[in-house]
Structure 1
Amino acid sequence: MKKTVTIIQMFLLVALFSPVAHGKLNTLDSSSYQLGVGDRIIVSVYGEEEMSLKEARLSDAGTISMPFIGEIKVSGMSVGRLQRYIEGKLRGDYLVEPNVTVRILEYRKFFVRGQVKEPGAFAFEPGLTLGKAVALAGGFTERAAKKTVTVVRENVQGEQRILTFKLSERLQPGDIINVQESFF
């Protein structure tokens, strides 16, 4: 009996304190992720297929067009905020208690340029690190300055920040990776 309790206690400790339990393995969590131009989403209204949006890519203006609601500026909204917004628009005039689900089908691309073998645009996957992104771009060239890789990240207002990253750091959709040329 004593051994069973110890095993159960260990299991509970591992479950409570593991990175998976707290979502730390995937820092790109859809509840705080801000939608942006190029993201592809689906909007489902439970029991109301004609009010649902099968699939939409956010336009250059950061908008989608919803049945019964029209054009919505969603760039900068989290998935949860967009769900609540659509529920609010449908409540009353169209439905008593709408149940809306928004899912991200595809994140906007990220870009790798500079001293990599195959620069270009690549599909983003949650959990992507700088090292993995460079590998997708064919790896560093012989002239690459591997220790001074910068990432250009744009916020919702369109302001860009230039960050210096280590290969183990995680990227976000839309990031632009610059691999400089080494002088040595």
Structure 2
Amino acid sequence: MMFESIATWACRGVSAAIVAMSIATLAACAGGGGSADQAGPQAAASSVALPADANLDYRLGSGDKLRVIVYGEQDLSGEFDVTGTGRVSLPLIGQVQAAGKTLDEFSQEVATELQKGYLTSPKVSVEVLNYRPFYIIGEVDKPGQYPYTNGMTVLNAVAVASGFTYRANQDRVFITRDGAKETEYPASQSVHVLPGDIVRIPERFF
């Protein structure tokens, strides 16, 4: 009778161990499946790194039209063009370099020039009325020159050019900016286009 009880409890112990091992195995499988699912999107992500200049502050250039306001000085305020030399001709102070500067930098430069014998503490505000165009070439349906709109991204630029062709590599783009070397970027809403940019959509390899 005693041996029978011991055998019964032993069998129960083995069964409990088997159940515990089964639960542990199922939990491990479930955990492994979750990791695979999480790795999937990362593996599918674009291999093109996002360059540091993907979201640069806009810098003025030839062809931009500006509104300059000097508060309290209507005669010094108005609308002005950035010329081919990158300068703006303003009342009293004459030619001021604009190309290559942000709006804040340019407004500070104007204020500094006005302080040189003209105004004691000028307050200057500058905004862009019309941006110079951007260009998109390569594998889009309608390559060419297009008006720039504030906040434009590379995907917006592709949409303006009527979308990708069937040959387009939709993972990456190349941008030439300010005459510098062409740079590769991911085709992403995180990458902004600036006025004067040349955006090239490459062909994919079949």
SS of equivalent residue, structure 2 residue 108: helix
Counterpart Cα distance in 2 of 1:61 and 1:49 = 26
Pick the structure with more helix per residue. 2
What runs of 5+ residues in structure 2 fail to find an aligned partner?
Answer: 1-54
Number of aligned residue pairs: 151
Render the CA deviation track for 1:128-152: whole Å, top value 9, x for unaligned.
2211110100111222232342122
Identity of counterpart residues, as a percentage?
36
1:11-160 aligned at under 5 Å gives the runs 27=55, 32-52=57-77, 54-154=78-178, 158-160=179-181
SS of equivalent residue, structure 2 residue 170: strand
Structure-2 residue corresponding to 1:173: 195
Larger radius of gyration: 2
Structure-2 residue corresponding to 1:20: none
Query: Are the aligned partners of 1:43 and 1:103 in contact in 2 as well (CA < 8 Å)?
Result: yes
RMSD: 1.9
Render the CA deviation track for 1:47-75: whole Å, top value 9, x for unaligned.
211112x2222111111100111111211
Query: Are the aligned partners of 1:153 and 1:163 in contact in 2 as well (CA < 8 Å)?
Result: no
Query: Once superposed, which parts of structure 1, at least 4 consecutive aligned residues long, lie more than 6 Å away?
Result: none
After TM superposition, the score normalised by the length of structure 1 is 0.73
Query: Are the aligned partners of 1:44 and 1:102 in contact in 2 as well (CA < 8 Å)?
Result: yes
SS of equivalent residue, structure 1 residue 144: coil
Structure-2 residue corresponding to 1:5: none
Query: Are the aligned partners of 2:70 and 2:122 in contact in 1 as well (CA < 8 Å)?
Result: yes
SS of equivalent residue, structure 1 residue 172: coil
Query: Are the aligned partners of 1:115 and 1:179 in contact in 2 as well (CA < 8 Å)?
Result: yes
One-letter amino acid of the structure 2 residue matched with residue 166 of structure 1: A
Alpha-carbon distance, 1:90 to partner: 1.5
Q: Which moved more, 1:84-93 or 1:115-124?
A: 84-93
